[in-house]
Amino acid sequence: MDRASLQERFGIIGRSDAIRHVLDRVRQVARTEITILVQGESGVGKELIAQALHQLSERRHKTLQIVNCGAIPEGLIESELFGAEKGAYTGAVDRRTGYFEEASGGTIFLDEIGEMPLTAQVRLLRVLENGEFSRVGSSKVLKTDVRVLAATNKDLGREVKAGRFREDLYYRLSTVIIHVPPLRERKEDIIQLFEHFQHRFAQQYNTGTVRLTEPARQLLMRYRWPGNIRELRNVAEQSAVLLDGDAISETDLRSFLRGVSATQDGLLPVVAGDSGEKEPDRERELIYRALLELRLEMRGLKEQMGALMGAVQGNSTQAMVVHRDSIRREIQEMVEDIPFEIEADGESDVPREEPREAPLPSLEDAERQLISEALERFDGNRRQTARALGISERTLYRKIKEFEDAE
């Protein structure tokens, strides 16, 4: 199958050299039995590449079992992958068949392989070496004939150095690596992708297809697309549903792009920086979001304090005056303890002392403090905490584990 046919069959859009290289590598290795590691940022389309590898292989008539390792709780992932005997753990009322057993003869795609716990990595290595495994709670050795594809948005080499990923498993998985480039590295594909999605959603929602103005095109090309194709598709869908008229302007698009500054000099996304260091960018975004939440809460606190002061001033008794002064001191002390500037307009009704030369907290310490305060605020509820911080539960779990390991 030539490159053009491959793109048409699997809906892989683009003419850039970067995506052509990916497609050529897929055509080279798809018919082999070799283990393949697909690397790339979140939203670049790694699962689509895995589907193409399977459909072009000799196993295409068998099962493609897709497993998101990051979505399975750590205590259950081994039983999900390899099965479990009745009574192997609390709640195991029947024998369970694992994904490796079900996918025998076909392909298993282990997405987010970097999230797999070390205990499960040991079992996976054994399967990759000789196709053998055993169910949880059983010593009986079973065989499976399965091809393994894996994907990650992490630097597994760095994970190996940090002790979070087995070195032998890394070498076994990375026999062939297919790197799917982020959208910012294939800018010549952005307009084609946007128009493809916009036309598709216009048909789906029975709205008119609209053209991009030249300033809108330039805006799409300058934006860094931290969410990659997934974010681009979301913007195209919003434009198909929410915009009227026959043209999409730069102003129309700006409302759909997250973290974009409205300055005339260009775009200033929250995830700035071309260094390729994804984790610091993500941590910076986390802190910005948490600071925004903190600013909103302080604004509400300020309003409540004003209402309380009004009520106190309406009562002339000495006791109420003392109470008012006590409250004011407590609020003042609380505001002074906050190490960040939180006023949106640079003004405050609370008197401030002269700035003190206090050392700034490190990025890691600030992140740890914000997460701890958010967890305390929501009584340890991690789902509510993750939602308030604007991150996924999986990212929150990973951060908590990193903090615990560092102690």
282 pLDDT more than 60: no
Q: Label each residue of 227-282 as H, E or C.
A: CHHHHHHHHHHHHHHHCCCCEECHHHHHCCCCCCCCCCCCCCCCCCCCCCCHHHHH
Sheet holding 176-179, edge to edge: 64-68, 107-111, 147-152, 36-39, 176-179
pLDDT of residue 362: 74
pLDDT of residue 401: 76
2 pLDDT more than 50: yes
323 pLDDT more than 80: no
Residue type, 205: Y
212 near 191, Cβ under 8 Å?
Answer: yes
164 pLDDT more than 50: yes
pLDDT of residue 125: 94
344 pLDDT more than 70: no
102 pLDDT more than 90: yes
Domains along the chain?
3-181 (3.40.50.300), 185-254 (1.10.8.60), 278-346+358-406 (no CATH)
Q: Measure the CA–CA gap between 6 and 221, rounded to whole angstroms.
A: 26
Q: Which residues contact 210 (CB under 8 A, 6 or more apart)?
A: 198, 202, 239, 243, 245, 246, 247, 248
Q: What is the mean pLDDT of residues 359-371?
A: 77
Q: What is the pLDDT of residues 28-47, one digit of tens each?
A: 999 999 999 999 999 999 99
The per-residue pLDDT of the chain, averaged, comes to 80
Q: How many CB atoms lie within 10 A of CB 44?
A: 26
Q: How far is CA 4 from the centre of its chain?
A: 31
Q: What is the mean pLDDT of residues 66-77?
A: 90
Q: Which residues contact 173 (CB under 8 A, 6 or more apart)?
A: 35, 37, 113, 128, 148, 150, 156
Q: Measure the CA–CA gap between 66 and 54, rounded to whole angstroms.
A: 11
190: burial class by Cβ within 10 Å (0-12, 13-18, 19+)? buried
**Cβ density class 251-266: b for 16+ within 10 Å, e for less:** ebbeebbeebeeeeee
pLDDT of residue 274: 42
Range scoring the smallest mean pLDDT among 241-245, 267-271, 368-372: 267-271
Q: What is the pLDDT of residues 188-217, one digit of tens each?
A: 999 999 999 999 999 999 888 888 999 999
Look at residues 182, 118, 124 and name the one whose alpha carbon lies nearest to residue 149: 124
pLDDT of residue 99: 94
Predicted confidence band of residue 339 (pLDDT cuts 50, 70, 90): very low
